[in-house]
Amino acid sequence: MTILVLRQLFARDLGRLVNELRLYKREEAIWQKAALINNPAGNLALHIIGNLNTYIGAVLGNSGYIRNREAEFSTTGVSRDLLIAQLEETARIVEQTLATLPEKQLNDEFPILVFEKPSSTAFMLIHLATHLSYHLGQVNYHRRLLDNGQVR
């Protein structure tokens, strides 16, 4: 049951992130820093791609993904279409991995240490879902500020 809910949440919010990127009136605004916003939508999208491909794809699904976290925040100018394609591929990897994850594994310790102390797989997956939601909200706010001419 919990895995089914997590699959639905990841699919929903990754779909919403794709939609947010599509809603930008000007593609270049995806990479625009504004006021005190140091991480524009493009970098947040790359961060989500790296985060989910690492902790779900590579750690739980053995995908072989290798993360470059620094590049998630230093890369600029990736096209909207490429970001969307990468997010859609990430959604596919997340769905494929979670679809094969046994429910009982949620109680097991997450295979790698991420925080100060070990956590369960359930804790880590819920953390990843809320982390995605947090950054989705930031992207929504960034888009509305820039599209409504509030910040240039």
pTM over 0.85: yes
The 10s digit of each residue's pLDDT in 16-72 is: 999 999 999 999 999 999 778 889 999 999 999 999 999 999 999 999 999 999 999
What is d(CA 133, CA 83) in angstroms, rounded to the nearest whole number? 17
Q: Which fold has domain 2-147?
A: Four Helix Bundle (Hemerythrin (Met), subunit A) (1.20.120)
Of 65, 60, 24, nearest to 45 by C-alpha is 24
> What 3-state DSSP class applies to 120?
strand
Sequence spans of domains, the chain:
2-147
**H or E segment at 12?**
helix 2-23
